[in-house]
Amino acid sequence: MAVSSKSLTGMLSLFHSSIKTPLPKYFLPRITARRSISASQIKQKQNAKAKRKTEFAGAAQVKRRTRSDRELDGDSFMKYHGEDNKSGHTPVMIGEVLDVFASVPLRSFVDCTLGAAGHSSAIIQAHGEMKLFVGIDVDPAAHEIADARIKGILGCDTCEPTSELCIHTFVQNYRSIKSVLGGIDEALLGAGVSGILMDLGMSSMQVNNAERGFSVLGDGPLDMRMNPQVSLKAEDILNSWPDDEVGKVLREYGEESNWHRLQKKIVNARLHGGLHSTAELVNLIRSSTCGTRGLVCLF
């Protein structure tokens, strides 16, 4: 049952007269004031609430885009991932990475998994003392984005001898870090560098592009090469490698408990033309994992 403020005031007055106790002076005026709030005041409160929501939208977006426990405010997000972020990729633990190196003077730094330079661009901006930066990535597409992004935040197109920070980026596997550093300056092999970052695994740039063959959400060729310039594709492994080698990949690298059943399915598929697309592989895995003794469908 709805009760108006006028009725409530009357009931309180009646209660006051029945118990012979003075009613607090602030009680009735407060009820009256609440009743007299105008539509314009309500609108002002709504606008103020909407403004506060907008002010924190940037930080909220950062939190949703990452799995990090450390939040960046809107200004920090724009500083590290603003208009120069052509890849649209935001590192998932940028806050933690900045924290790890916050107390370390980074005069020389190596990013072994450069990607689109999300981590590195933030670290470079946070460490004005840096004199040498080395970025390594096996993916040429990522390297191209990273190279332009780093040079963009420095406001230069090349690394001149007089620059305060000298940058070197390479299309290489991080296992070649020793030869890469030796090629820059042999003294680095003895003295070492101030910091090294390795963020292992795929990024959304690779997974979101169905043509790269990493995605299970969109159909594409069975490629899965980090470096498209190398010859070996996932299609070659699935359709031509020996049975036991395919099983080893599933068991040791994929950590698949159902590896033996999948191995048989893959080998049997060769009798019917083999596997040539990610959709064909996904369907094969579904038929091998769904509804079998409590196993959960992977896709």
**Tens digit of pLDDT for each residue in 149-176?**
998 888 755 444 435 899 999 999 999 9
Which range has the worst mean pLDDT, 113-122, 154-163, 274-283? Answer: 154-163
Q: Is residue 61 part of a domain?
A: no
Give pLDDT tens digits for 216-243.
888 999 999 988 889 999 999 999 999 9
**Is the same domain home to 224 and 190?**
no
Residue 26 to residue 35: CA distance in whole angstroms:
15
Query: CB-based burial of residue 116 (10 Å sphere; 0-12 exposed, 13-18 middle, 19+ buried)?
Result: buried
* pLDDT for the residue 37: 61
pLDDT score for 71: 57
**Are the beta carbons of 120 and 114 closer than 8 angstroms?**
yes
Asked if residue 238 and residue 183 are part of one domain, the reply reads no
Q: How many CB atoms lie within 10 A of CB 84?
A: 14
Number of domains in the chain: 3
Our separate counts of H helices and E strands in the chain read 15, 4
Element (H, E) at 197: strand 195-197
- pLDDT tens-digit series, residues 21-56: 444 444 444 433 444 566 777 777 777 666 655 544
* Residue 109 sits in the same domain as residue 15: no
**pLDDT tens digit sequence for 250-271:** 999 888 888 999 999 999 999 9
Q: Is 65 within the bounds of a domain?
A: no
The pLDDT assigned to 28 comes to 43
pLDDT of residue 88: 56
pLDDT at 163: 56
Print the domain residue range for 135.
74-197
Q: Chain centroid to CA 250: how far? A: 26
Indicate if the pLDDT at residue 103 is higher than 80: yes
Tell me, yes or no, whether 299 lies in a domain.
no
| Residue 239 confidence (pLDDT) | 97
13 and 86 in a single domain? The answer is no
Contact (CB, 8 A) for 114 and 169: yes
Question: Which comes out higher in pLDDT, residue 63 or 197?
Answer: 197
88 and 189, same domain (yes or no): yes
Asked whether residue 136 carries a pLDDT value surpassing 60, the answer given is: yes
Mean pLDDT of the chain: 77
Average pLDDT over residues 179-202: 92
Can you say whether the dihedral through the CA atoms of 118, 123, 128, 133 is positive or negative? negative
pLDDT score recorded for residue 269: 96
CATH number at residue 227: 1.10.150.170
Distance CA 67, CA 187 (A): 39
Strands of the chain (E only): list them: 108-111, 132-137, 166-171, 195-197
**Judgement on whether residues 180 and 81 belong to the same structural domain of the protein:** yes
* Helix %, strand %, coil % of the chain (to 5): 55, 5, 40
- Asked if 209 and 121 touch (Cβ cutoff 8 Å), the reply is no
Please state the pTM of the whole predicted model.
0.63
User: Does residue 91 fall inside a structural domain?
Assistant: yes
Residue 150 is assigned to a structural domain of this protein: yes
> What would the mean pLDDT of 183-205 be, rounded to a whole number?
91
Sheet holding 132-137, edge to edge: 166-171, 132-137, 108-111, 195-197
Whether 219 is in a domain gets the answer: yes
Query: Which residues lie closer than 8 Å to 173 by C-beta, 6 or more apart?
Result: 136, 138
In this structure, what CATH number is given to the domain that contains residue 192?
Answer: 3.40.50.150
Is the pLDDT score of 214 beyond 60?
yes
> Given pLDDT bands bounded at 50, 70 and 90, which one contains residue 207?
confident
